[in-house]
Amino acid sequence: MKTGKEYKILVVDDAKDTQLLLEFDLTSAGYHVDCCDGGEQALLTLTEQKIDLVLLDMYMPGLSGLETLEKIKTGSDTTTTVPVIMLSASNEEDEIVTALELGAADYVVKPYNAKILLARIRTAIRLKEKTKQLEYLAKTDFLTKINNRGNFFELSRKVLSLANRAGYPLVVAMFDIDFFKQVNDDYGHDAGDKVLITFAQQLTEVFRDYDIIGRIGGEEFAVCLPNTCVDNAKIACERLRQQVEKTNFSLGKSIDYDNSLKITVSIGLSLAKRGVSSMDELLKQADLALYYAKEHGRNQVINVNDISDEIVTDLVSSTNEQEIEPMHEDQLNNTIYGIDFLVGVNNVLGDEALFKEILVMFYQDHHLDGDKLNAALQEHDIASAKHLAHTLKGVASSVGAMVLFEKTKAFDIAINENKVDDYDHLFASLFPELTKVMQSIEATLDVHGN
């Protein structure tokens, strides 16, 4: 967490004496402070500057505090995540409830107590930082720091949809490090991790900034290349293949064997034909090309369209026959309902104690989300429902609550697409799952700090 001097607070109040008093107290506490007289100016400032927290007066001429708050929380991604603390001389309960339901982080009555206000500011900023970290974990592979499987799919599906509408080409490439199991067996998993990290770095160096790069699982990676023909994609993949082949992968000083090794990579390509709507199907096609590459010598780039239809049919049959042994729940070292413990622990580099702390934070921050969502739906407060669902979706994925993630994702999509008729039955599916997860966390971990 940054120090106070690195945080900027925007004070929005039409009373100059209040501005001066707040500026003095906040500056003395180490914060940068910017002041403005009304809501319109505040909204403009939020688009032009990086603001960490807003202190917003309830009653102002022109755009009121509540109207300004609503615009902040329904605006762009840069404004919706900024915590807002309301300030008012009124202690009217209905106004407080309205402000909190619109997304205010807190409510402070004027004249304020400086120590209490500063404590609430610290709490709001700390919660923002914690949520930001959880959202990062939800989208990022814990080891390589590139997109994880879920975020790769989400980003790629959006790009594929745009490609279909705009009519430009799109290619998906699948990568599999050859004989990677042997690396782990011969040199240990620390060496294997170093290889995966270096390989991911090479992917980010070779491919363009707007190409979507992700770790699909284990030693498998994928790249989605928008607005790219298959010939150019093959050139880029071949460049990556050659770079990997020439690299001495460092294993570090802790390895007892040679401190470097050579690896190769097999690559499969699939071009999205016009009208293709499924990223899953594209990846399956690229995976067939990858399987062909590995079965015919490895260390090569294969386009699925260069394989005959008869061979593709045989490859599909062969891959369908491969069964993966399911992991039983009793193999996990934790039995919290709805939580894939391995997914969650892997997201924090295998630190089980840290993961349990994150689960406690997850409970503390989100165990009332079901009630909040229900209230938002009953009051037709779609902006609040959207914010709650979007945040819960990201955090659920990061802690391994995959069923909850899928149900919240479906609800979030329905809100984004304004499918009002779907709200009730999707929420009816989401709410019991959220309740069971939270009850199980509460029963298993010390969520109340006892």
Who's near 263: CB < 8 A, 6+ residues apart?
A: 177, 178, 179, 180, 183, 195, 199, 244, 247, 249
Rama region for 185: left / alpha / beta (φ>0; ψ in -120 to 50; rest):
alpha
Q: Is 349 helix (H, G, I), strand (E, B) or coil?
A: coil
CA–CA separation, 174 vs 170, rounded Å?
14
CA–CA separation, 290 vs 296, rounded Å?
10
CA–CA separation, 196 vs 90, rounded Å?
58
Q: Is 268 helix (H, G, I), strand (E, B) or coil?
A: strand
Which of 219, 238, 310, 433 does the annotation list as catalytic? Answer: 219
- Give the number of residues written for the chain: 450
Task: Output the six-digit token pair for 15.
Answer: 């009373």
- Pairing, β 32-36 against β 8-12: parallel
Question: Do residues 304 and 269 make contact, with C-beta atoms less than 8 angstroms apart?
Answer: yes
In the numeric block, the tokens 């770790």 are attached to: 215
Question: Do residues 73 and 385 make contact, with C-beta atoms less than 8 angstroms apart?
Answer: no
CA–CA separation, 334 vs 301, rounded Å?
41
442 is an active site residue:
no
CA–CA separation, 302 vs 305, rounded Å?
9
> Rg of the Cα trace of the chain?
26
In the numeric block, the tokens 């050859």 are attached to: 178
Q: How many Cβ atoms are within 10 Å of 327's Cβ, its own excluded?
A: 10
DSSP 8-class letter at 214: E
Residues catalogued as catalytic: 219
